[in-house]
Chains A and B, each alone.
Chain A
Amino acid sequence: NAGVTQTPKFRILKIGQSMTLQCTQDMNHNYMYWYRQDPGMGLKLIYYSVGAGITDKGEVPNGYNVSRSTTEDFPLRLELAAPSQTSVYFCASSHRGALGETQYFGPGTRLLVL
């Protein structure tokens, strides 16, 4: 199993541009998450999904959108990039989203908005 994969690994955007960060997992996990991590900080939840067709906002959803059309894929969309969105973005998944369950993280996408 590849686990959780993310593309691209690194991207530079100009202010106002848009892009989609891709996330795929091959573990047949129901729950998927998007976090952002600013330098020297912890992870903050952007959006999560409990299954195909179901998504919900996390702690910092403004400026982002998500969709979940399949169990495997959970793309994150930035519509109008702003410098404040410069960060490292991690996608994660867990089997049932049960309390105490392990989350498995992808390698991350580093985004720089100039």
Chain B
Amino acid sequence: GQSLEQPSEVTAVEGAIVQINCTYQTSGFYGLSWYQQHDGGAPTFLSYNGLDGLEETGRFSSFLSRSDSYGYLLLQELQMKDSASYFCAVHQTGANNLFFGTGTRLTVIP
């Protein structure tokens, strides 16, 4: 089976930096994706890591360490609009779908 662990809630100040961690246990691990979901909205793709290291996309970066079965999403220069839930999701070889974590609800305060 698979398991993904993320913190359930994180609060951070506008303009600050926040890191959302994700640890996973799965067979046939291929890569890790991150999705953002605003309240009442649909999940939207943020980032993907297939190799160890850091991927940067504007204010958002994502990191993967296969040896530690660990990844994180880093959000810089936080804005109020970044308040949302963030999901890590595992890609597995031999599987045709993503396995999602339960999500981290980020609240950005002034």
- Taking CB atoms, residues of chain A closer than 8 Å to B70 are none
Instruction: Kindly supply a per-residue 1/0 record for chain A positions 24-64, scoring 1 wherever the CB is within 8 Å of any chain B CB and 0 otherwise.
Output: 00000001010100001111110010100000101000000
Q: When chains A and B are docked, how far (Å) is the Cα of A48 from the Cα of B50?
A: 23
Within 73-110 of B, Cβ neighbours of A (below 8 Å) are at: 87, 91-93, 96-98, 100-103
Q: State whether A99 touches B97 (Cβ < 8 A).
A: no
Q: When chains A and B are docked, how far (Å) is the Cα of A106 from the Cα of B92?
A: 23
Q: When chains A and B are docked, how far (Å) is the Cα of A100 from the Cα of B47?
A: 10
Q: State whether B96 touches A50 (Cβ < 8 A).
A: yes
- Taking CB atoms, residues of chain B closer than 8 Å to A48 are 96-97
Least CB distance, A94 to chain B, in whole angstroms? 9
Count how many chain A residues have C-beta atoms less than 8 Å from C-beta atoms of the other chain. 24
Q: When chains A and B are docked, how far (Å) is the Cα of A56 from the Cα of B97?
A: 11
Q: State whether A102 touches B42 (Cβ < 8 A).
A: no
Q: State whether B96 touches A90 (Cβ < 8 A).
A: no
- Assuming the contacts A43-B87, A107-B41, A108-B42, asked whether A99 and B100 have C-beta atoms less than 8 A apart, the reply is no
Q: State whether B43 touches A105 (Cβ < 8 A).
A: yes
- Taking CB atoms, residues of chain B closer than 8 Å to A33 are 97
Least CB distance, B20 to chain A, in whole angstroms? 14
Q: Considering the complex, give the chain B residue whose CB is closest to the CB of A103.
A: B98
- Taking CB atoms, residues of chain A closer than 8 Å to B43 are 43, 90, 103, 105
- Can you list the 6 inter-chain pairs with the closest CB atoms, starting with the nearest? A42-B100, A105-B42, A102-B45, A43-B100, A42-B102, A99-B30
22 A-B pairs with C-beta separation under 8 A: A31-B96, A33-B97, A35-B100, A40-B8, A40-B102, A41-B102, A42-B103, A43-B43, A48-B96, A56-B96, A58-B97, A90-B43, A97-B96, A99-B31, A99-B91, A99-B93, A100-B50, A102-B48, A103-B45, A106-B42, A107-B41, A108-B41
